[in-house]
Every structure is written in C-alpha cells, then in structure tokens.
C-alpha cells in the first residue's frame, strides 16, 4: 500500500528573499498573522454602505471573516515552523506553505480595502482598523519572505520566488489503518461540503471573490506542504468510498439550505456539470474539438419538452419521465451520429469549424420552426412553455415536501433528481473510459495515425464518442426542460454571458481537467458560480473570464484536477528526481 506519512530528505538551503534569522522570521510571521486575525474585530470603514457592514468593532462581518481565517492560517503555519524548527514534514516544508498563506492573507485583505475605496469613493473611507489590517498582512509577508527556502527549480520569476522546494523528496513511512483512512475521507468530504455551502451561500459578489482568493491560496499551500499530495493518494486508494461519499454529501446539500434559491443554483450546476462531462467524452478522451456541443443539450431539452405534455407542444402526448428522458437522450444520440458521420473524416481546425456551424444551424432551425418560416414544431423564438412538473411514483416535483422536519422546495426536489441522473452519467463515463473503447479513444487522441496502424478504426470510434457524448447531453437536457418550465433557443449559442453555451462548456472541461471525472464537474461548478455571483461586473464578465482562462493556461495548463498523464505531459521538463517518468509511472496512476 502506498505510504501516507513521510519524513523526506532535506534539500540544500538557499538565501531567503529577505535576509532574516530563521527564528526571527517565524516570530515576525506569527506576529503578523495574529495581528491580521485580531484586526478583523476592528472597524474598517465609516460607512455601512459597503456590503457586510464593516463598521462594527468587536465582531467580524462579511469579508472580515475571511481575513480572520487567513490570519489564523498564517499564524498556524508560523507556529508549526517554530515548533518543528524548520524541519521538513510530509513532502514539503511548513515554511514554504506559510509564504503562500501570507500572500493569500495579503491578497484577501487588500482586495477588501481596495473594494471599499472603489465603492465608497476613496481611501478616506478606511478607518484605523482597516489600515491596521493592511499593515499586519504586510508584516506577515515580510516575515514569511525571510523564512529559509530549499533550492528552487529553474523556471520563471514567479516559480523561482514561490516554489519551495524544487523537488519532492522520497516517501518512507507506514500507512494508516484502514478505518482511520476511511474516517479521513469522510472528514474531507464534510469539509468540501462546508466550503461549497459557504461559497454558494455568499450573498454578494465581493464576498464570493474574497472566498475564492482564500480557497485558492489555501489549496496552493496544501499542495506546497505536501498535504495535497497525501490527500490525492488517500482518495485514489479509496475511490469507491470517496465517490459514494461525494454523492451522499451532495444529496445532503439541499437539507442545509433554508430557502430554494441556492437549490436553484445547485440543480443548474448539476445540469451544467453533467453536460460538461458528456463533452469530456468527445474532447477529453477522444481529443475531438467540438464547438457546437450545446446543441445536443438543446436537442434533448426540446425533445423532452415535446413529449412531456406541455400546453404549447405540437405533439399532444405525455410520456412518463423515464420515457421522455430516454427519448431525449436517444434523439440527441442520433443527432450526434448524423453530425459525425459526414464530418469526422476531417480533423483539427476543420472539425471545429464544422461543429461550430452545426451549433448555429440548430439554433436557427428551432427559431424558424414557428409555423411561419417553417413547420410549427418548436414555436420559434417563443419556445415551448408551461412544461408540467414531473410526478414520479406519486412524488410531485413541483410541490414542497417536509422530510425529517426540513422543507424541500421545488428546485431541491429537482436537485435530488438531477443528482441521480449525474450518478448515471458518471457511471457511464467511468465505465467507458476504463474499457477497451476508452483506451481506443485515448490512443486516437494521442496519435490517430499510430492508432490506425495498430488496427483501431478511427472513424468508428470517433463516431461512437460523438454519439455517447451527445446522448449524455440529451439526458441532462431532458431534466433542464422540466426545471426551467420552458425551452427557448436563446441559451444554445456558442458564446454568451450566461451558461450553458459551448464556450463555457469547453472552458469548464479544459480548466477542470480533461479526461477525468471530477475535473469537468469542478470546472462547471466554478464557472457557473462565477457567472451567478459576479453580477456586479455586468458587461465586464467576459473580460474577467478571459483573464481567468489566461491565468489558468499559464499556471495550471493541465486543469484543476488533472490526470497524472496530463501532468507529466505539461511538466515533463520539471521531472522530479525521486519520481519515475515513463510507462511504469503512468500505469501506477491509472492514466
């Protein structure tokens, strides 16, 4: 069994960014962290117009809670360094993680102070407490930059300053007992649920951005300290438990909400994530760039709406949900075959252009099937409205229900239904990816000519990828039609300000991690929440997303949750001396 705890070998030390004695640097960092946490209890501004009311002394409010948490993390990292005397732990050093935490505290606090000045009209709106908070984070960072560092790797300036050490040392330790590891997995899932619940419950955009800053730097620090690697190893050993636990935690989510607004976000995130996972079959496994994938979601949604008894449907039938969902999935799969059969002979940019054209053709066609420009099927721009709520085994999805003293509203009911659909899609994706067909897709993605030479029928397997991806999107679309009460052509475009659209879906897959199960789901959740929470950006949303994509492609090209294979592909020049880069290493990771 893979080791979980380790005492690594040490690396040669180099001069810190700021020359300070190690003990003094840790003491300064600890002092700065404590002052940062304490400053959250002071008033930061004179005006209560800034969201969260930061005028109160004695109790943190809004973004001050994030500064408080960041300050405690910095103080904890410095205290750990003092207690350990700078000795390496796990697969890294506490000092290296402390530098990142100090940067996170600085970014969170100064983001708040700048936001106050920008929204209230200048720095004059800051009180002494706000200035104390800003100075405290600078003190913490100065102390952290004086901490001893291991030898840094070659790379850009950011890597040379922030990456400690340049190599991960070998691991030599015994594994924990199985029950303890199971308990740790459960604890991790509880923490993940708490973080997601807090993030989705943020009531204004500034708080959500601050939350993202803290989480991003926290995860970075975990990876730097080596704990992140141990967490990944732990989950990889208990994948079944982690997967089941993740769905159980997601099912609990609606019970933690006091209103249906967050459940609305939750069910839309699941629909977006399920669609992204279907696109992951085409892009992540088979390596085919599809720029019109959202059309398959629309095909499933329109098909389900037509056969579900909607008052404005041109087909006066009402299938039960399971039949409507299967019909939507089947018609979407057929559409995938019809698109793929004549177009998959082309490759690369030409295939991308063809799929982009298909997406636009679908939107134009459904707009013209209004009884005037064409047959009356989709009602044109008006769409199909008044789709009735589902009634499954006597359970009316449109009504609130009391379960265990907790009221689940309409969107909470659909959240649980979509969670079941998501489980089916995850199962289909996982089984397909790990099958002979999945290995053929990966071979085509890596080198289609070599795959063909080995006897793989590239056209047949690519067509199968198109069909399966379209089927999964159609299944998600059948639920989306009932959730939204209606289906209109406006959302099914290549790019727009709101998801789902093809550009956002593709970004969710690439940023989340192509070829993985959790990656597209995480990417879809992040992108949907960004769109829902950052309404204060208004017309600048696409600019913000563009900057986010540039940063991800520069510093995390393999995605948030990447397979080991893609990590090695993107960081082959940074091969670690104590790790093997080759077929054996890939086979151990299941890549």
pLDDT in tens, 432-456: 888 899 889 888 888 888 888 888 8
Average pLDDT rounded to a whole number, residues 475-504: 83
Tell me, what's the pLDDT at 36? Answer: 93
pLDDT in tens, 361-375: 888 888 888 777 778
Indicate if the pLDDT at residue 166 is higher than 60.
Answer: no
Q: Is the pLDDT of residue 590 over 50?
A: no
The more confident residue out of 458 and 578 is 458
The residues pairing with 403 across neighbouring beta strands, listed in sequence order, are: 406
Residue from 582, 555, 554 nearest 568 by CA: 582
- Pick the range with the lowest mean pLDDT from 46-50, 101-105, 560-564: 560-564
When pLDDT is averaged across residues 289-317 and rounded to a whole number, the result is: 86
pLDDT band at 150 (very low <50, low <70, confident <90, very high): low
Note the pLDDT of residue 419.
Answer: 92
pLDDT of residue 538: 63
Residue 471, pLDDT above cutoff 60? yes
Q: Across residues 253-260, what is the average pLDDT?
A: 81
The confidence score (pLDDT) of residue 169 equals 40
What integer is the mean pLDDT of 215-237?
Answer: 84
CA angle centred on 406, ends 400 and 412, rounded to 5°: 50
- Residue 242 CA to residue 561 CA, distance in Å, equals 15
User: Comparing 549 with 519, which gets the higher pLDDT?
Assistant: 519
> Which pLDDT score is estimated for 84?
67
Distance CA 309, CA 370 (A): 18
* Residue 45 bridge partners (DSSP): 126
Is the model's pLDDT at 236 over the cut of 90?
Answer: no
Domains (ranges, CATH) in the chain?
A: 13-240 (no CATH), 260-515+522-548 (1.10.3470), 561-591 (no CATH)
pLDDT at 88: 52
Report whether pLDDT(220) > 60: yes
Report pLDDT for 546: 77
Alpha-carbon distances of 79 from 34, 85, 496, rounded to whole Å: 11, 10, 48
Highest mean pLDDT among 198-207, 461-470, 509-518: 461-470
- Over 70: is that where the pLDDT of 575 sits? no
pLDDT of the residue at 329: 92
Query: Average pLDDT of 326-331?
Result: 92
Least-confidence region, from 51-60, 128-137, 167-176, 296-305: 167-176
pLDDT score for 270: 92
Highest mean pLDDT among 13-17, 91-95, 141-145, 583-587: 141-145
pLDDT of residue 547: 81
**In angstroms, rounded to a whole number, what is the distance separating the alpha carbons of residues 460 and 216?**
42
Whether residue 347 has pLDDT greater than 90: no
The Cα 468–Cα 252 span in angstroms is: 30
How confident is the model over 388-415, as a mean pLDDT? 81
312-326 tens-digit pLDDT: 877 878 888 889 899
For residue 500, cis peptide bond before it (omega within 30 degrees of 0): yes
Confidence at residue 572, expressed as pLDDT on a 0 to 100 scale: 55
The maximal CA–CA distance of the chain, rounded, in angstroms, is 81
Q: What angle do CA 341, 345, 347 make, to 5 degrees?
A: 125
DSSP per position, 356-370: HHHHHHHHHHHHH-B
* Residue 16: predicted pLDDT: 65
pLDDT at 541: 67
Tens-place pLDDT, residues 65-75: 999 999 999 99
157 Cβ contact list (under 8 Å, min separation 6): none
End-to-end CA separation in angstroms for the chain: 18
Highest mean pLDDT among 3-7, 17-21, 509-513: 509-513
* pLDDT averaged over every residue in the chain: 80
Instruction: Quote the pLDDT of residue 156.
Output: 43
CA atoms of 421 and 437, how far apart (whole Å): 23
The answer to whether 483 touches 267, Cβ cutoff 8 Å, is yes
- In the predicted structure, residue 34 carries a pLDDT above the cut 50: yes
Q: Residue 334: left (phi > 0), alpha (psi -120 to 50), or beta? A: alpha
Decide if pLDDT at 190 tops 80.
yes
Residues 6+ apart with CB under 8 A from 44: 54, 55, 64, 112, 113, 116, 126, 127, 129, 130, 133
Q: Model pTM?
A: 0.82
Res 496: pLDDT:
67
| pLDDT of 180 strictly over 90 | no
Task: State the pairing for strand pair 395-396/391-392.
Answer: antiparallel
Q: Could you tell me which residues come within 8 angstroms of residue 320 by beta carbon, excluding any fewer than 6 positions away?
A: none
Residue 571 has what pLDDT?
Answer: 59
- Nearest Cα residue to 8 out of 96, 99, 93: 93
Long-range contact pairs involving 330-334 (C-beta distance under 8 Å, separation at least 24):
330/471, 330/474, 331/299, 331/300, 331/303, 331/474, 332/296, 332/297, 332/299, 332/300, 332/303, 332/470, 332/471, 332/473, 332/474, 332/475, 332/477, 333/467, 333/468, 333/470, 333/471, 333/474
Does 31 have pLDDT greater than 90? yes
What are the backbone dihedrals phi and psi of residue 314, each rounded to the nearest 5 degrees, phi first?
Answer: -80, -10
Q: Are 27 and 159 in contact (CB under 8 A)?
A: no
- 3-class secondary structure, 90: coil
Contact call for residues 488 and 383 (beta carbons, < 8 A): yes
pLDDT of 138 above 90: yes
Residue 226: pLDDT over 80 = no
Q: What DSSP element (H or E) covers 114?
A: helix 94-120
Is the per-residue pLDDT at 163 higher than 60? no
Judge residue 310's burial from the number of C-beta atoms within 10 Å of its C-beta, 0-12 exposed, 13-18 middle, 19 or more buried: buried
């Amino acid at each position: 069994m893979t080791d979980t705890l380790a005492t690594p070998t040490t690396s040669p030390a180099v001069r810190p960014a700021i020359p300070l004695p190690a003990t003094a640097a840790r003491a300064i960092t600890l002092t700065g962290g404590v002052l940062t946490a304490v400053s959250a209890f002071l008033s930061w501004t004179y005006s209560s117009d800034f969201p969260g009311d930061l005028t109160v002394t004695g109790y943190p409010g809004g973004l001050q809670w994030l500064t408080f948490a960041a300050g405690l993390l910095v103080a904890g990292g410095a205290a750990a360094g003092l207690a350990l005397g700078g000795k390496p732990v796990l697969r890294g050093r506490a000092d290296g993680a402390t530098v990142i935490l100090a940067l996170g505290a600085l970014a969170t606090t100064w983001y708040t102070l700048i936001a106050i000045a920008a929204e209230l009209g200048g720095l004059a709106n800051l009180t002494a407490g706000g200035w104390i908070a800003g100075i405290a984070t600078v003190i913490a960072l100065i102390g952290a930059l004086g901490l001893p560092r291991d030898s840094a790797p070659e790379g850009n300036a950011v890597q040379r300053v922030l990456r400690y050490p340049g190599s991960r040392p070998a691991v030599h330790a015994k594994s924990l007992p199985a029950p303890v590891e199971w308990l740790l997995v459960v604890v991790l899932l509880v923490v993940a649920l708490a973080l997601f619940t807090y993030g989705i419950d943020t009531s204004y955009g500034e708080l959500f951005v601050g939350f993202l800053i803290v989480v991003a730097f926290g995860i970075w620090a975990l990876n730097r300290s080596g704990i992140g690697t141990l967490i990944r190893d732990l989950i990889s050993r208990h994948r079944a438990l982690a997967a089941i636990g993740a769905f159980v935690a997601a099912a609990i989510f609606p019970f933690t909400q006091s209103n249906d607004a967050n459940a609305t976000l939750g069910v839309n995130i699941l629909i977006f994530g399920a669609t992204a996972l279907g696109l992951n079959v085409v892009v992540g496994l088979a390596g085919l760039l599809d720029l019109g994938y959202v059309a398959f979601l629309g095909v499933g949604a329109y098909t389900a709406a037509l056969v579900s008894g909607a008052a404005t449907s041109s087909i006066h039938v009402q299938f039960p949900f399971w039949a409507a969902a299967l019909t939507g999935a089947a018609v979407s799969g057929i559409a995938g075959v019809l698109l793929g059969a004549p177009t998959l002979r082309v490759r690369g940019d030409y295939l991308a252009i063809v799929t982009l054209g298909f997406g636009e053709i679908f939107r134009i066609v459904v707009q013209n099937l209004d009884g005037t420009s064409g047959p009356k099927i989709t009602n044109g721009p008006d769409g199909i409205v008044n789709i009735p709520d589902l009634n499954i085994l006597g359970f009316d999805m449109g009504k609130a229900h009391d379960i265990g003293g907790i009221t689940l509203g309409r969107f909470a009911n659909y959240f649980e239904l979509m969670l079941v659909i998501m489980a089916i899609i995850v199962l289909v994706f996982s089984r397909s990816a790990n099958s002979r067909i999945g290995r053929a897709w990966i071979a085509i993605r890596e080198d289609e000519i070599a795959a063909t030479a080995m006897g793989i029928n590239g056209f047949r397997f690519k067509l199968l990828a198109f069909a399966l991806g379209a089927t999964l999107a159609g299944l998600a679309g059948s639920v989306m039609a009932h959730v939204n009460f209606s289906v209109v052509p406006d959302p099914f475009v290549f790019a727009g300000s709101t998801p789902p659209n093809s550009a956002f879906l593709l970004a969710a897959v690439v940023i989340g991690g192509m070829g993985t199960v959790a990656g597209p789901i995480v990417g879809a959740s992040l992108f949907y929440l960004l769109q829902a929470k950052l309404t204060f950006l208004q017309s600048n949303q696409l600019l913000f997303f563009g900057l986010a994509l540039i940063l991800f492609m520069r510093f995390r090209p393999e995605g948030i949750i990447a397979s080991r294979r893609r990590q090695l592909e993107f960081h082959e020049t940074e091969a670690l001396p104590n790790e093997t880069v080759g077929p054996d290493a890939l086979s151990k990771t299941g890549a």
